[in-house]
Amino acid sequence: ESVDAAILIADIVGFTSRSEKMDPTRVVQELNHYFSYIDPVIEAHDGVLDKRMGDGVMVVFVPRGGESPESVRRRALRCGLALLRTVDLNNPISEARGIAPIEIRVGIAAGPTVQGNIGSDAQIEYTVIGDTVNLGSRLESRAAPGHLMITDALFDAAEAEDLRMTHVTRRESLRIRGRDQAQQTVELQPHFETG
């Protein structure tokens, strides 16, 4: 089924090199701790956790009922910013448990996708595919640690309340492999509450 969706990709910065120095059991414990506080954020924004890729997650936002594409994009954006804030808030809690602080980066793209059950008789699973997924992954890899990178179209769909407590750190025209035209992007960083 074709659907206009928003795709959020989030990844822990430097987790591969960090995990090489740890016992595999410890790696799993740290990942499960991380997922224990980000999964509720995804659920609160009605995101569908499509897959885990090691320390990375791919979250899909599709229209609910008659929801507009702009509303779907705003939900994904609010979720991405909430993930960054949640990691920041949980770092002191993690440190108290002997877990070194982490940073994540987030990329969000929106546009046409195909959703459905993919696979064979051996294994079948729900997922979405399409160029929008690839773009989300590229945006995530280009975001600075602790930042969120989105397309300018997604930024334009945002309302003032969505962007409250954030600031734009970079606007960039990115050449994306497989695309003829450069992609206009906006990088955001949330302000973290102190006190």
Regarding predicted confidence, which is higher, 109 or 130?
109
Is it the case that residue 193 has pLDDT exceeding 90?
no
Angle at CA of residue 188, ends 76 and 79, nearest 5°: 20
State the sign of the Cα–Cα–Cα–Cα dihedral 13, 19, 20, 21: positive
Is it the case that residue 76 has pLDDT exceeding 60?
yes
Nearest to 60 by CA among 123, 119, 4: 4
For the chain, counts of helices (H) and of strands (E): 5, 8
Is it the case that residue 194 has pLDDT exceeding 70?
no
Is it the case that residue 61 has pLDDT exceeding 90?
yes
CA distances from 167 to 106, 109, 114 (A): 15, 19, 33
| Pairing state between β 104-119 and 148-151 | parallel
Quickly state the pLDDT bin for 195 (edges 50, 70, 90): very low
Question: What is the structure's pLDDT at 140?
Answer: 95
pLDDT digits (tens, 9 = 90+) for 77-93: 999 999 999 999 999 99
Read off the tokens for 23: 């016992």
Nearest to 61 by CA among 74, 147, 104, 106: 74
Question: What is the structure's pLDDT at 33?
Answer: 94
Is it the case that residue 2 has pLDDT exceeding 90?
no
Share the mean pLDDT of the chain: 89
Read off the tokens for 2: 């074709």
Nearest to 38 by CA among 106, 7, 84: 84
State the sign of the Cα–Cα–Cα–Cα dihedral 30, 33, 34, 35: positive
Q: How far apart are CA 99 and CA 91, in angstroms?
A: 8
Quickly state the pLDDT bin for 183 (edges 50, 70, 90): confident
Provide the residue type at 4 as one letter: D
User: Percentage of residues in the chain with pLDDT exceeding 70?
Assistant: 97
Q: What is the pTM of this model?
A: 0.91
pLDDT digits (tens, 9 = 90+) for 33-58: 999 999 999 999 999 999 999 899 99
Q: How far apart are CA 124 and CA 72, in angstroms?
A: 26
